[in-house]
Chains A and B, each alone.
Chain A
């Protein structure tokens, strides 16, 4: 059997970036949640906030470490598997990546040291500042990467000039146009809110787990409320932003929208397919459950508006994976809405949750991952066969590597990721159990150590 380096490299890139995105998605927003805990503590001097801060700092550190190591892999992937990308659009992508590393990566990595280990070594305000800089660093990092990614979807502000060897290369003509390319504001907002939802469901889920292990301390209730209320606030905003992002996509990448809706042939008054099986042979959705004309209305604000089908485009992505991923994302969003509002109602009215609700919150701990990854699959597969829309196809960027070599590394990556994911989740569970053994009620119990204990003791005096 011939191993195809193209398909294998694509799977490998997808595996690497899928594994990577899970961790920054948490840390981007968790950083701000930590800052919130710290500021609440500064304002109220309530020990419970500081305990929440210390507890989720540990979660943050673990998540951050996984993000760093999987991110290093990414910076090598471009060269090892896809050298054509930088050779063609390096003049545009290079500076954006450089700014990402320069401004953000170091800000995070250095101040994280102070944030994690420096509480007793630096004045309180420096520690709060370090927490702020870490949160700002992760967000800035997301900004630059989203700028580059959006430029790959809606490229502008450049011209193609042939080098001596006759190879066309992108040269920047306007950096303002490159940075503020048409899809950037939508994608950035959509992603930052996605991160907010991922982190808030994680905080709520872990707190619900501690609640189930009979830890009903103020710190658990405070962090659960923080998670649930943030989620309940963000989810409707996210749905609104997602709609705008979809309209933006329809304008610049209509083929992607056609695949999302599962429409092969251009039609007027297209129905919204809630569910069904896309059939690429007959070019229809089998067993479709649909609402007449709604897709047209959502996308054109006109019940009889025309939506172009996949077949109308010379270069179009595959329908089925995009169709499915889109429904998983939206379905997850609806569940998030129902669950976060229910939990918010209970926490607001009764100041407590019920047992079944706690189980549901635990089950939703990683719901943000599912929705975020599904969303990225929609947008990235939706750009195919292009790597940079209209400029460079994915196939053209592939390097001279053998299928066997990629197969070897791909299998090793997959094994590594499964092992690390199991270790990550079981460690989170272990941490929740250890925190929930009752020792938090007595600050002198050994589960709180060192300066952390000293602070709590001093604060208590």
Chain B
């Protein structure tokens, strides 16, 4: 610790932390609204309106965390940003097309003539699905160190499905909290289904990741690290079991505890993300480039840190404010 501070390497690590934090917040926040998009396919028009109304005031700001996360990588780790994004050229493009169509579908579906509405419903569903699959695919190919082999591609497809399912899970949990009646019961069913898929996916990723890299294997399965890192998988398991239990009991009288699945799933997301981050630290590109090697000049990082420390608390503050203002069950949305 002393070395890190005296060598000035604390700046890159701080930025790596902030970048990771943005990505995590993004995965949770945009995760639920991408999930809602993917779940919107198997519903009727009224339910679609209600589901989209539940995320209407938030999606803009949610997506901005992606811009912040990628932006931090761009500005703090320019070398890594270049390598990672040129490696992921096509999945990035697919994700962007997904996000474009999905983002504009929110507005278009509410404003076009009724006969054309189905087109934008479809754009909303397919856009959400493409964005989620592409993000998962990128995670997989990142874990594989951008290896170009059929096996690596297969693994990336698997992570694509796992991430999409994870987003559906958290999206369903969001709907449990924001909706009531028939739609809430549907959401509980979706949550149970996607919990199983997510657990299978998460399990496979956790098994394969240590196998592809000796370094990661030794980080997880050597003494004494195993003692203080073991709580991560154990706690994840406990949360999954608890989530399954509560999903079977829901809904309670007066809609009590309707927020518990969302909080629990967020916990699972945080733990999984921490596990991944632990596996890759101190690398920013697996086995190729470390966080320190990829960083910008300390003076530039310092300037940005000042801004970030002033702005981030305000930013988190007014994100919370928005959630307070729009708390409670989703109503029909109107510009009011």
Contact = CB atoms under 8 A, between A and B. Distances in A.
Interface of A: 54, 57-58, 61-62, 64-66, 68-73, 75-76, 78-80, 83-84, 86-87, 90-95, 97-99, 101-103, 105-106, 108-114, 116-122, 169, 171-172, 175, 399-401, 405, 408-409, 412, 416, 420, 423, 427, 430-431, 449-452, 454-455
Nearest to A108: B60
Nearest to A116: B335
Main secondary structure of the interface of A (DSSP, over half): helix
A289 to B, nearest CB: 43
Given A106-B315, A427-B108, A172 B303 contact: yes
Most buried by A among B56, B74, B97, B335: B335
Contacts of B113: 430
Contact of A113 (B61, B67, B104, B332): B61
B75 A98 contact: yes
A109 B335 contact: no
A92 B93 CA distance: 27
A99 B72 CA distance: 11
Interface in B255-312: 296-297, 299-300, 303-304, 307-308, 311-312
Contacts of A451: 334, 336
B85 interface: yes
A65 B111 CA distance: 13
A95 B307 contact: yes
A98 B67 contact: no
A427 B83 CA distance: 40
Given A68-B63, A112-B60, A169-B297, A98 B334 contact: no
The 9 closest A-B pairs by CB, nearest first: A83-B82, A451-B336, A79-B85, A94-B75, A450-B334, A90-B78, A86-B78, A113-B57, A69-B103
B303 A95 contact: yes
Given A119-B336, A401-B86, A423 B108 contact: yes
B44 to A, nearest CB: 20
A41 to B, nearest CB: 14
Interface stretch (B190-198, B230-238, B317-325): B317-325
B60 A68 contact: yes
Contacts of A105: 64, 67-68
Contact of A109 (B64, B99, B334): B64
Given A105-B68, A114-B325, A117-B333, 15 more contacts: A61-B107, A65-B60, A80-B89, A109-B61, A110-B321, A113-B326, A114-B57, A117-B326, A117-B334, A117-B336, A119-B336, A120-B336, A175-B303, A427-B108, A451-B334
B168 to A, nearest CB: 22
A215 B90 CA distance: 48
Interface in B96-112: 96-97, 99-101, 103-104, 106-108, 111-112
A91 B297 contact: yes
Contacts of B145: none
Contact of A69 (B99, B111, B325): B99
A75 B296 contact: no
B16 interface: no
Nearest to A399: B86
Most buried by A among B63, B72, B296: B296
6 contacts: A80-B88, A98-B307, A101-B64, A112-B60, A408-B93, A431-B111
Given A71-B67, A102-B308, A113-B58, A94 B111 contact: no
B108 A62 contact: yes
A91 B296 contact: yes
B325 A58 contact: no
Most buried by A among B66, B100, B112, B333: B100
A399 B66 CA distance: 22
A102 to B, nearest CB: 4
Contacts of A122: 325
B179 interface: no
Contacts of A97: 71, 74-75
Contacts of B92: 76, 80
Contacts of A431: 111
B82 A65 contact: no
